[in-house]
């Protein structure tokens, strides 16, 4: 395994990267000298890797395996509360370590569990999706959802260590690999355009990435996120740039996942890619972003394999209603006629004034961009070359 690290507040977080290295991962965990291990995973990842890893570690220290059904619906206080009781029954102490094995969902639940037990015990992430490896674990933010909204209850608790087995990440579904890679595209467009040539070389619409490709994609993400976290460990100021594409993106994700939705659920990263297309369109309509920069958005979104036809079944007003609940409300005085958004004036250059890089955008400009996004989605109707297989 190779080692990297990044600073998070007053802590340096070690990152170990390897390929088919589960035994080494177990050795690294054992070396933490914990009195007990609490593994948190989901029922799918338990079968792929979580159960095996916990089994190997258990040969040296008592290990408890906590698992929940996969999905956003289980990232809630009920799962967390059940896990807290089971961990305490198991005899967890301040010397114990919580190990998250899985995507961003078990990662966030484990992060909150570790942050709350005895006001904070050690947390290790073993991410198994691209989104977890490249995005959610490179952060101190931990949260679960409530009936009101996503990520409403949480705290900051940095991990002690991150261990990535790229061989495990690479066996995820093409859609999950693509969804994670969209966040790396976002970093390049909004923060580090110098990474665009590397992405042109790496991205493939079918998302048939090798472990080596994923290692390169991971390093691109780590470079950007570690630079931002150095200045802004709580991701409240410069870190808000990471929210590029998320205003329309979250709304598409939530609208498509609603129980009464006629649309198929859009994954987080896919939604962010489409949200970036909408943000570029908004900025272009307002006359602040040039056509060349819009074209680069289109090119990278095509290369990553996301098409607007994913929005089939959604309507503009439903998406606009969800935009009204965006979690960036409260950063600025709220006005119902404006939506705070991260917009760019050029690739890598935020338009927004002040530290928070948020621009109040007239709702009608956002509505026009959403309307156009959905119209072009209907126009494609799944006929795109990227649609076949790539959306499976």
Ligand X SMILES: NC(=O)c1ccc[n+]([C@@H]2O[C@H](COP(=O)([O-])OP(=O)(O)OC[C@H]3O[C@@H](n4cnc5c(N)ncnc54)[C@H](O)[C@@H]3O)[C@@H](O)[C@H]2O)c1
Q: How far is the CB of 1 from ligand X (least distance, A)?
A: 17
Radius of gyration of the chain (CA): 20
Measure the CA–CA gap between 20 and 165, rounded to whole angstroms. 6
Q: How far is the CB of 36 from Zn ion (least distance, A)?
A: 33
Q: How far is the CB of 309 from Zn ion (least distance, A)?
A: 3
Interaction residues for ligand X, span 232-271 (CB under 6 A): 268
Measure the CA–CA gap between 234 and 152, rounded to whole angstroms. 15
In the 8-state DSSP scheme, what is residue 370?
Answer: H
The answer to whether residue 136 forms part of the interface with ligand X (CB under 6 A) is yes
In the shown chain, the binding pattern of residues 145 to 174 toward ligand X, with x for contact by CB under 6 A and - for none, equals: ------x----------------xx-xx--
Q: How far is the CB of 16 from ligand X (least distance, A)?
A: 17
The answer to whether residue 129 forms part of the interface with ligand X (CB under 6 A) is yes
Residue 125 interface partner, choices Zn ion, ligand X, none, CB cut-off 5-8 Å depending on type: none
Q: How far is the CB of 182 from ligand X (least distance, A)?
A: 11
Measure the CA–CA gap between 213 and 217, rounded to whole angstroms. 6
Phi, psi angles (nearest 5°) of residue 138: -90, 65
Residue 46 token pair: 């338990």
The answer to whether residue 175 forms part of the interface with ligand X (CB under 6 A) is no
For ligand X, which is the closer residue by CB, 145 or 318?
145
Q: Whats the size of the chain, residue-wise?
A: 392
The answer to whether residue 75 forms part of the interface with ligand X (CB under 6 A) is yes
Q: How far is the CB of 45 from ligand X (least distance, A)?
A: 5
Instruction: Give yes or no for a contact between 184 and 133, defined as CB atoms under 8 angstroms apart.
Output: no
For ligand X, which is the closer residue by CB, 172 or 350?
172
User: Between helices 268-285 and 363-380, what is the axis angle to 10°?
Assistant: 120
Instruction: Give yes or no for a contact between 109 and 80, defined as CB atoms under 8 angstroms apart.
Output: yes
Which part of the chain contacts ligand X (CB under 6 A), choosing from 125-133, 216-224, 257-265, 377-385?
125-133
Residues forming contacts to Zn ion in the complex (CB under 5 A) are: 307, 309, 380, 384, 387
The answer to whether residue 281 forms part of the interface with ligand X (CB under 6 A) is no
Residue 311 interface partner, choices Zn ion, ligand X, none, CB cut-off 5-8 Å depending on type: none
Residue 108 interface partner, choices ligand X, Zn ion, none, CB cut-off 5-8 Å depending on type: ligand X
Measure the CA–CA gap between 179 and 388, rounded to whole angstroms. 16
Residue positions annotated with a catalytic role = 141, 243
Measure the CA–CA gap between 306 and 301, rounded to whole angstroms. 6
Nearest to 356 by CA among 278, 241, 191: 241
Residue 138 token pair: 């490179």
For ligand X, which is the closer residue by CB, 135 or 326?
135
Residue 384 interface partner, choices ligand X, Zn ion, none, CB cut-off 5-8 Å depending on type: Zn ion
Measure the CA–CA gap between 89 and 121, rounded to whole angstroms. 16
Pairing of strands 344-346, 349-350: antiparallel
Q: How far is the CB of 89 from ligand X (least distance, A)?
A: 25
For ligand X, which is the closer residue by CB, 36 or 175?
175
Measure the CA–CA gap between 260 and 21, rounded to whole angstroms. 43
Q: How far is the CB of 20 from Zn ion (least distance, A)?
A: 28
Measure the CA–CA gap between 173 and 271, rounded to whole angstroms. 17
Neighbours of 105 (CB within 10 A): 27
Pairing of strands 63-68, 37-42: parallel
**From 67, 128, 181, 221, residue interacting with ligand X (rule: CB under 6 A):** 128
The answer to whether residue 139 forms part of the interface with ligand X (CB under 6 A) is yes
**From 16, 54, 97, 105, residue interacting with ligand X (rule: CB under 6 A):** 105
Instruction: Give yes or no for a contact between 74 and 105, defined as CB atoms under 8 angstroms apart.
Output: yes
Alpha carbon 207 to its chain centroid, in Å, reads: 17
Position of minimal CB gap to ligand X = 104
Burial class (CB in 10 A: 0-12, 13-18, 19+), 4: middle
Interaction residues for ligand X, span 40-59 (CB under 6 A): 42, 44-45, 48
For ligand X, which is the closer residue by CB, 53 or 279?
53
For Zn ion, which is the closer residue by CB, 153 or 380?
380
**Which spans of this chain sit near ligand X (rule: CB under 6 A)?**
42, 44-45, 48, 70, 72, 75, 102-106, 108, 128-129, 131-132, 135-136, 139, 141, 151, 168-169, 171-172, 176, 268
């Amino acid at each position: 395994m190779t080692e990297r690290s990044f600073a998070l507040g007053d802590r340096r977080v070690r990152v170990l990267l390897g390929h088919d290295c589960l035994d080494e991962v177990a050795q690294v965990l054992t070396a933490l000298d914990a009195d007990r291990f609490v593994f948190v995973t989901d029922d799918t990842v338990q079968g792929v890797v979580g159960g095996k890893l916990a089994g190997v570690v258990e040969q040296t220290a008592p290990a408890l395996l906590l698992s929940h059904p996969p999905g956003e619906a289980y990232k809630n206080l009920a799962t967390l509360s059940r896990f807290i009781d089971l961990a305490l029954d198991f005899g967890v102490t301040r010397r114990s370590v919580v190990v998250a094995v899985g995507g961003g969902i078990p990662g966030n639940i484990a992060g909150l569990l570790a942050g709350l037990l005895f006001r904070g015990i050690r947390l290790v992430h073993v991410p198994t999706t691209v989104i977890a490896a490249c995005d959610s674990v490179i952060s101190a933010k931990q949260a679960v959802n409530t009936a009101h909204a996503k990520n409403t209850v949480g705290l900051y608790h940095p991990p002690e260590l991150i261990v990535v087995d790229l061989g495990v990440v690479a066996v995820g579904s093409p859609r999950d690999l693509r969804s994670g890679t969209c966040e790396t595209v976002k970093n390049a467009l909004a923060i580090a355009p110098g990474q665009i040539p590397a992405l042109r070389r790496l991205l493939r619409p079918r998302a048939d990435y090798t472990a080596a490709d994923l290692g390169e994609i991971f390093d691109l993400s780590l470079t950007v996120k570690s630079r931002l976290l150095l200045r802004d460990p709580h991701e409240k100021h410069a870190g808000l740039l990471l929210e590029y594409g998320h205003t329309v993106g979250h709304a598409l994700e939530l609208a498509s996942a609603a129980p009464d939705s006629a649309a198929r659920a859009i994954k987080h990263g896919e939604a962010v890619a489409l949200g970036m297309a909408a943000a570029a369109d908004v900025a272009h309509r307002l006359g602040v972003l040039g056509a060349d920069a819009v074209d680069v958005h289109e090119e990278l979104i095509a290369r990553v394999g996301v098409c607007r036809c994913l929005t089939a079944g959604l309507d503009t007003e439903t998406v606009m209603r969800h935009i009204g609940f965006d979690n960036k409300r409260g950063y600025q005085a709220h006005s119902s006629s404006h939506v705070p958004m991260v917009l760019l004036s050029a690739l890598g250059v935020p338009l927004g004034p002040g530290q928070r890089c948020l621009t109040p955008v007239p709702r009608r400009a956002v509505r026009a961009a959403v309307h156009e996004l959905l119209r072009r989605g209907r126009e494609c109707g799944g006929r795109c070359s990227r649609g076949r297989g790539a959306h499976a």
